[in-house]
């Protein structure tokens, strides 16, 4: 081995603690890159493989009742490759061991042969006999949550008739990778499932013989999607068709896609932060090392080493640190990525997971990691080339201190000498002081930008669960019914109050902008489920007009006073002009609301309701459940109190884990920054501090000079970090919001406080690590060494 390389190893070994501190920060960046890209690619690949193998449809539509013959006409549309028509209905289930009713989405299987599209993959058992009227397959997670195995059976109310269904197998389908019940905000595998059964059984139960109410279409390669959608809409319109939509509006696909986008965004946005900080740190440490070794560098030059050889020597040191960080990052990334991908399968139901190890991710992360270290080294290394061998031979001139404004302030305030030393040190090396401050500030910002999500979520929850939706349950009706049904519901045992509303599928158009959405017709006096304005006050609906959620208003570029074209996509259909009378803030989903009487008037129908919000007497629940399970016209029930509970539990659990992880990562940054700053400060000032000790200053007084500076910088950094964090959070709110969620922007004092305390603690801890070295300063040795 070359002697210079031996020196390299020994330097590396001597600087191990500082190198480790940098390498860990770097490793975080590499790890996040490897995880985010690795998991994203694995899930994407799994998704597209599953879609392909199980022929996930491209276009989806529903109708009330379309004749089976229509299928042939749909197949004629140019661009259509495969058409599958089905019956899809909702049904109340009565499950053993579950007092409340569960809900199922019933999906028909073709009377003959295999399904052509959205093919369910068997995980256990076999597909049901198409001729059987009670054999079904259910989605695996529903079976697992309810302890069902092949041969288990349960009761379902199909169009008012109670049936005993027997499970012949369990499946997973590309249509329900993310499965969420209607009206729910989170998956609930116990109370919502998908049940596939023979067409004939469903057709006879729901009086849909010779007809279908659901179409899936797979396109040819060169199809014009929008044209197919338009054609299909025309064909289905006479049969109660409600606007066909593409994958981007298919619930399961929408959730999965937005998750993948977030992963991708994280992989792009977060690692650079760590790389930048690592580069700063390498710059600091190497800069100091090179200052310390200027005589050695002069010597290398004097004996004939070229600038290139000397630069390469120090670049290799930086690369060593980078490589170390990359290896640690990879190791952590690989193990965590496996775990994460598995974690996703809890929420996303895939029959298998294709784990992709992409060499380019490793190559990119290695290049980025080592590149950051080398870039950080660049400035210091450039300095070595400028060092004249002759100048390097003479000892460095003592650092020049000058009186400046801060000194005067200090003197004026009668500061003691140690304080003056701190002030001078900061003003003499403003660059290092700023880098330290920025590093700490960034870690504070990282914590805020991640932890504020829980604050936002709190707001979202409070608004959606406690302010807007105060009902304990929502019943969805199988068919729209007149308001008289409300009285019937109120007569059910335990129901204290019932309020109805109707959701109608419409297409809203403002100039060239259009959106298909369910508009809710609401009774003016509704008090359980309310539409709230920004101040959490109930919105009073004007007699005429439509109220839009802010996100929808944005998408349609509509303001109060604009008139929208509303095309009703069901029943009698037709175009109506509706004025926008209000815009409200809404966090879950996007909504449009109007007075039920106005909606009915437009539709020229008597007011109808298709869902009923109820408040209930907890003591009479069982009686209510019995009735609901048996009621012929109730297609589903959503228990809001359970959603609230489930959400709180999930959020609490994941917030605990997430908070810990981010606090840990942020502490790593702080330790990396502060520890290195402290070591460098100590090395620069060892002689000075030792002199003070010799003059009779105590260890405490001497440590104060060093720790005081760092803690002062930390105190300055924390509010700056608050500000950075605020900006980052603002950006995240924008990028995270989708049609499913609109994240409110809110950062609680608790979040600020937590981030500040973690940063300060980590800073103090790393300063203390270095304090041990101050206490062990060998006074004689320090004074003997020449600098």
Partner 1 sequence: MSQPVFHTDEVTKVYNTGDVQVFALRGVNLDIYASEMTVLLGPSGSGKSTLLNILGGLDDATEGSAFFKGMELTAMSERQLTTYRRDHVGFVFQFYNLVPSLTARENVALVTEISPDPMLPEEALAMVGLENRIDHFPAELSGGEQQRVAIARAIAKRPEVLLCDEPTGALDSKTGVVVLEALSRINSELGTSTVVITHNAAIQNMAHRVIFFADGQISEVKVNKTRLLPHQIEW
Positions touching partner 1 (CB under 8 A) are 2-4, 6-7, 10-11, 14, 295-296, 298-307, 388-391, 393, 786
Residue 680 CB, shortest distance to partner 1, in Å, is 18
Phi, psi values for residue 303, rounded to 5°: -85, 5
Cα 673 from Cα 444, distance rounded (Å): 12
Phi, psi values for residue 592, rounded to 5°: -140, 140
Residue 707 exposure: Cα atoms within 13 Å on the Cβ side: 22
In angstroms, how far is CA 106 from the centroid of its own chain? 31
Residue 303 CB, shortest distance to partner 1, in Å, is 5
Residue 391 CB, shortest distance to partner 1, in Å, is 8
Residue 297 CB, shortest distance to partner 1, in Å, is 10
DSSP character at residue 238: G
Query: Looking at beta carbons only, is 182 or 389 nearer to partner 1?
Result: 389
Query: Looking at beta carbons only, is 297 or 341 nearer to partner 1?
Result: 297
Strands (E), 173-270: 192-198, 211-219, 242-246
Angle of helix 307-347 relative to helix 3-14, nearest 10 degrees, comes to: 50
Residue 387 CB, shortest distance to partner 1, in Å, is 11
Query: Looking at beta carbons only, is 390 or 540 nearer to partner 1?
Result: 390
Cα 321 from Cα 525, distance rounded (Å): 67
Query: Looking at beta carbons only, is 112 or 780 nearer to partner 1?
Result: 780
154: tokens are: 């349960």
b/e per residue 620-645 (b: at least 16 CB within 10 A): ebeebbebbbebeebbbbbbbebbbe
Residue 667 CB, shortest distance to partner 1, in Å, is 32
Residue 321 CB, shortest distance to partner 1, in Å, is 17
Residue 333: which of 39, 586, 587 has the closest Cα? 39
Query: Looking at beta carbons only, is 346 or 779 nearer to partner 1?
Result: 779
Query: Looking at beta carbons only, is 393 or 431 nearer to partner 1?
Result: 393
Cα–Cα distances in angstroms (integers) from residue 686 to residues 371, 569, 711, 765, 786, in the given order: 32, 80, 19, 20, 12
Query: Looking at beta carbons only, is 224 or 296 nearer to partner 1?
Result: 296
Cα 652 from Cα 104, distance rounded (Å): 28
Are the C-beta atoms of 699 and 775 separated by less than 8 Å?
Answer: yes
Residue 203: which of 118, 108, 115 has the closest Cα? 108
Residue 304 CB, shortest distance to partner 1, in Å, is 2
Residue 359 CB, shortest distance to partner 1, in Å, is 37
DSSP character at residue 685: H
Phi, psi values for residue 399, rounded to 5°: -55, 135
Residue 7 CB, shortest distance to partner 1, in Å, is 5
Query: Looking at beta carbons only, is 291 or 509 nearer to partner 1?
Result: 291
Residue 389 CB, shortest distance to partner 1, in Å, is 4
Query: Looking at beta carbons only, is 178 or 314 nearer to partner 1?
Result: 314
Query: Looking at beta carbons only, is 389 or 518 nearer to partner 1?
Result: 389
Residues 6+ positions from 171 with CB-CB distance below 8 Å: 120, 121, 122, 123, 137, 138, 139, 140, 196
Query: Looking at beta carbons only, is 111 or 395 nearer to partner 1?
Result: 395
Strands 102-109 and 192-198: parallel
Residue 779 CB, shortest distance to partner 1, in Å, is 17
Residue 301 CB, shortest distance to partner 1, in Å, is 7
DSSP 221-235: TT--HHHHHHHHHHH
Query: Looking at beta carbons only, is 14 or 53 nearer to partner 1?
Result: 14
Query: Looking at beta carbons only, is 309 or 652 nearer to partner 1?
Result: 309
Phi, psi values for residue 100, rounded to 5°: -80, 155
Strands (E), 534-685: 546-549, 563-568, 574-584, 592-595, 608-616, 634-639
Residue 678: which of 771, 781, 761 has the closest Cα? 771
Cα 569 from Cα 547, distance rounded (Å): 19
Q: What is the CA radius of gyration of the chain?
A: 34
Are the C-beta atoms of 297 and 381 separated by less than 8 Å?
Answer: no
Query: Looking at beta carbons only, is 302 or 727 nearer to partner 1?
Result: 302
Strands 135-139 and 161-172: parallel
Query: Looking at beta carbons only, is 186 or 391 nearer to partner 1?
Result: 391
DSSP β-bridge partners for residue 88: 107
Residue 339 CB, shortest distance to partner 1, in Å, is 41
Cα 242 from Cα 324, distance rounded (Å): 58
Are the C-beta atoms of 25 and 664 separated by less than 8 Å?
Answer: no
Residue 674: which of 774, 776, 761, 777 has the closest Cα? 761
Residue 677 CB, shortest distance to partner 1, in Å, is 24
Tell me whether residue 429 is exposed, middle or buried, using C-beta atoms within 10 angstroms of its C-beta: 0 to 12, 13 to 18, 19 or more: middle
DSSP β-bridge partners for residue 212: 66
Cα 12 from Cα 237, distance rounded (Å): 74
Query: Looking at beta carbons only, is 3 or 534 nearer to partner 1?
Result: 3
Residue 424 CB, shortest distance to partner 1, in Å, is 21
Query: Looking at beta carbons only, is 253 or 316 nearer to partner 1?
Result: 316
Residue 278 CB, shortest distance to partner 1, in Å, is 24
């Amino acid at each position: 081995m070359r002697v210079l390389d031996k020196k390299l190893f020994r330097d590396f070994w001597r600087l191990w603690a500082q190198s480790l501190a940098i390498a860990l920060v770097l490793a975080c960046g590499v790890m996040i890159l490897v995880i985010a890209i690795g998991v994203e690619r694995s899930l994407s690949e799994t998704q597209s493989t599953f879609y392909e193998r199980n022929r996930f449809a491209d276009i989806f539509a529903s109708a009330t009742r379309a004749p089976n013959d229509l299928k042939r006409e749909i197949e004629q549309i140019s661009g259509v490759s495969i058409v599958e028509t089905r019956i899809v209905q909702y049904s109340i289930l009565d499950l053993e061991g579950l007092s409340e009713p569960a809900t199922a989405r019933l999906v028909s299987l073709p009377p003959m042969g295999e399904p052509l599209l959205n093919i369910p993959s068997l995980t256990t058992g076999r597909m049901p006999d198409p001729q059987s009227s009670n054999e079904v397959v259910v989605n695996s997670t529903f079976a697992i949550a309810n302890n069902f195995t092949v041969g288990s059976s349960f009761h379902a109310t199909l169009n008012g008739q109670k049936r005993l269904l027997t499970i012949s197998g369990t499946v997973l389908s590309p249509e329900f990778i993310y499965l969420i019940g209607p009206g729910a905000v989170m998956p609930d595998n116990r109370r919502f499932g998908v049940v596939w059964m023979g067409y004939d059984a469903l057709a006879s139960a729901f009086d849909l013989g010779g007809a279908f109410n659901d179409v899936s279409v797979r396109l040819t390669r060169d199809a014009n999607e929008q044209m197919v959608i338009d054609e299909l809409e025309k064909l289905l319109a006479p049969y109660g068709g409600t606007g066909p939509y593409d994958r981007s509006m298919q619930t399961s696909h929408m959730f999965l896609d937005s998750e993948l986008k977030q992963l991708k965004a994280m992989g792009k946005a977060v690692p650079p932060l760590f790389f930048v900080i690592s580069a700063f740190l390498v710059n600091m440490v190497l800069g100091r090392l090179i200052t310390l070794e200027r005589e050695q560098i002069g010597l290398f030059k004097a004996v004939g080493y070229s600038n290139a050889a000397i630069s390469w020597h120090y670049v290799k040191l930086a690369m060593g640190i980078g490589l170390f960080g990359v290896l640690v990052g990879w190791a952590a990334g690989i193990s965590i990525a496996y775990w994460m991908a598995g974690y996703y399968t809890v929420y996303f139901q895939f029959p298998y997971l294709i784990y992709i190890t992409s060499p380019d991710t490793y190559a990119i992360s290695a290049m980025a990691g080592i590149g950051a270290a080398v870039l950080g080294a660049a400035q210091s290394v450039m300095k070595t080339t400028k060092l004249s061998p002759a100048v390097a031979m003479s000892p460095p001139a003592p650092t020049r201190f000058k009186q400046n404004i801060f000194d005067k302030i200090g003197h004026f305030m009668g500061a003691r000498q140690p304080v003056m030393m701190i002030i001078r040190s900061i003003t003499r090396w403003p660059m290092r002081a700023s880098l330290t401050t920025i590093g700490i500030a960034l870690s504070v910002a990282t914590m805020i930008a991640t932890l504020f999500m829980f604050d936002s979520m709190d707001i979202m929850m409070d608004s959606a669960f406690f302010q807007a939706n105060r009902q304990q349950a929502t019943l969805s009706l199988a068919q729209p019914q007149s308001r008289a049904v409300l009285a019937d519901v109120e007569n059910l045992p335990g129901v204290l109050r019932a309020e109805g509303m109707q959701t109608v599928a419409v297409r809203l158009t403002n100039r060239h902008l259009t959106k298909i959405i369910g508009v809710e017709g609401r009774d003016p006096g509704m008090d359980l489920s309310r539409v709230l304005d920004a101040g959490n006050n109930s919105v009073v609906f004007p007699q005429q007009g439509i109220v839009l959620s802010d996100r929808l208003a944005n998408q349609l570029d509509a303001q109060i006073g604009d008139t929208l074209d509303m095309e009703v996509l069901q029943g009698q259909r037709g175009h109506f002009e509706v004025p926008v009378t209000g815009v409200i803030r809404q966090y879950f989903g996007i909504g449009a609301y109007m007075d039920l009487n106005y909606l009915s008037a437009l539709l020229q129908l008597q007011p109808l309701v298709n869902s009923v919000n109820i408040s209930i007497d907890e003591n009479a629940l069982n009686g209510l459940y019995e009735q609901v399970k048996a009621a012929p016209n109730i297609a589903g029930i959503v228990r809001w109190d359970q959603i609230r509970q489930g959400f709180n539990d999930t959020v609490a659990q994941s917030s605990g884990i997430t908070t810990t992880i981010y606090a840990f990562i942020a502490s790593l940054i702080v330790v990396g920054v502060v520890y290195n700053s402290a070591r460098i400060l100590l090395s620069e000032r060892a002689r000075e501090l030792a002199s003070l000790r010799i003059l009779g200053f105590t260890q405490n007084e001497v440590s104060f000079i060093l720790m005081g500076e760092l803690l002062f910088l930390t105190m300055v950094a924390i509010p700056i970090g608050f500000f950075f964090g605020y900006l980052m959070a603002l950006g995240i709110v924008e990028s995270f919001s989708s049609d499913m969620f609109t994240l409110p922007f809110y950062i609680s004092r608790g979040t600020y406080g937590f981030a500040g305390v973690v940063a300060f603690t980590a800073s103090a801890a790393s300063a203390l690590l270095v304090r041990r070295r101050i206490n062990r300063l060998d006074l004689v040795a320090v004074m003997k060494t020449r600098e």
